[in-house]
A = this chain, B = another copy of it.
Amino acid sequence: MSGITCLLELYDCPPDILDNRELIEKALRNAVDSAQATLLEQVSKQFTPQGVTALGILAESHISIHTWPEHGYAAIDIFTCGNKAMPERACEYLIEAMNAGHHTIKRVKRGTELDPASVRTALSPDRVQYHVLHV
């Protein structure tokens, strides 16, 4: 098992995009296609007075989109396992599709203790630790 979670923050997005459930659902599907991943199931929710959540089960793990139109902000996670899917491509697609003014991406490797070759610092449960993230 090798897995990556991309944590994507989109800022300065148009509120009318962020509050459009149909558009967010479509963006999720297109993002999955961009990543060359496989969408197995999708659920979404329109919040009141505003905001949308959309989740997708992937053959490779999951994708989530949460929007806060009042802040022009969306938080997106794409977790893929295996070597075939390209979650960064999904991020690139979503930055464009949601017309973000700026963004940040954090990549977090999952299941690192399953992979002895992974470079990681020995863990101590009560210490703050530094992990290398590719932004």
Residues of A bordering B, CB below 8 Å? 1, 3, 5, 7, 9, 11, 40-41, 43-45, 53, 55, 57, 61-62, 64, 66, 68, 71, 73, 75, 77, 79, 81, 102, 104, 106, 108, 110-114, 123-125, 127-135
What are 19 inter-chain pairs, A to B, with CB distance below 8 A? A1-B68, A3-B75, A5-B7, A9-B112, A11-B113, A41-B43, A44-B57, A53-B61, A61-B75, A64-B64, A77-B79, A106-B108, A127-B135, A128-B134, A129-B134, A130-B132, A130-B133, A131-B133, A131-B135
- Number of copies of chain A assembled together: 2
Q: How far apart sit A3 and B110, CA to CA, in the bound complex (Å)? A: 20
Q: Which residues of B contact A127 (CB under 8 A)?
A: 135
Name the distance in Å between A18's Cβ and chain B's nearest Cβ: 12
The answer to whether A62 touches B57, judged by C-beta atoms less than 8 angstroms apart, is no
The answer to whether A111 touches B73, judged by C-beta atoms less than 8 angstroms apart, is yes
The answer to whether B123 touches A132, judged by C-beta atoms less than 8 angstroms apart, is no
Known interface pairs A77-B77, A77-B79; A71-B104 also in contact (CB < 8 Å): no
